[in-house]
Structure 1
Amino acid sequence: MKSKTQFISLCFLLPLFILQACGQNTKKQTKSTSMENNIITKSGNPYYSNTDTTKLNVSDAEWKKVLPADVYAVMREADTERPFTGKYWNTDEKGTYYCASCGNKLFRSTAKFSSSCGWPSFFEQDDKKSIVFKEDNSIGMERIEALCGRCGGHLGHLFDDGPAPTGKRYCMNSIALDFVPDSK
């Protein structure tokens, strides 16, 4: 009977061991909320806060430790998720969008619009300090990169083809955003 128990344990543990040996992260990044203080934090990320607006100066090595690999690739290496694959590109739920790296408040859903480009699009940012910009000529064309004003993480790009009243289109990567519905 002991060998049967050991065999069953091995069947459950072996896949976890293989994933860890291959470098796969078996722990999920989780969000916890404290409704009393209206604070959102991410377990394992000491830089995440939706109430602290202090500018962060964190090394990429440190970000690599606290961010999931896919979030790190977009936010620290300026990768781009494929169009029509992100969780927020086609949603219209009311709430607030925050930076997925640091929790900085970026957009209200009232500024979101359907641009049919495959990424979530907004016509204005929440606060003029919440997003900063820099010139981006990385793919042989002139674009304006949108970065989190708190942590400097890559969010997406800004274009001049949005709706009134601003005429702007903040074309963001869903993976660079966290969304909190108004009901919370």
Structure 2
Amino acid sequence: MKIEETFIKDLLIVEPTVFGDERGYFFEAYSKTKFQNLGIDIEFVQDNQSFSKKDTLRGLHYQNPPFAQTKLVRVLEGEIMDVAIDLRKDSSTYGKSFSILLSAENKKQLLVPQGFAHGFSVLSETASVMYKCDQFYNKGSEGGIKFDDPSLSIDWGIDLNDAIVSEKDQVLPFIQNCNSLF
């Protein structure tokens, strides 16, 4: 397993070691021991999975403390543009976004720490996304940022005119008006 740092502190790309042969492949998507050996000590308590069709855009979501979530995001089938926004007000990268192509083929994962908003768009015909969380979902602590906030200039990899977005996500505030407690 290999960890790659991004330009945003604590936002990490996780690349598993894949063992392949004529039968297919095998890899450990998560190993508490290996993560701890890499300096990452997180106790995950919940796994979430979604299935979406092409041009679906989910996000940008977060949970405020004390229910803030760290997420380990991976794609089981298909391809997504995964996006994280730094909401930590004391961070030098506050309001900056990071995007990465995650796919079943590249098997990369994104470790999104507490203090970030997260979302993704579906680039393939369909995509199954799974992510581990270190806190349980808590409706009262949820927050979000509108996906097309002009101050964030996010390239979702899809035409936003074709984006399939939930009613809830369409009315989220821009970052300057969000209720982030980070």
TM-score band (shorter)?
A: under 0.3
Q: TM-score, normalised by structure 1?
A: 0.27
From the CA coordinates, give the structure whose radius of gyration is larger. 1
Greater RCO (Cα-Cα under 8 Å, separation 6 or more): 2
From the two aligned structures, give the one with the greater strand fraction.
2
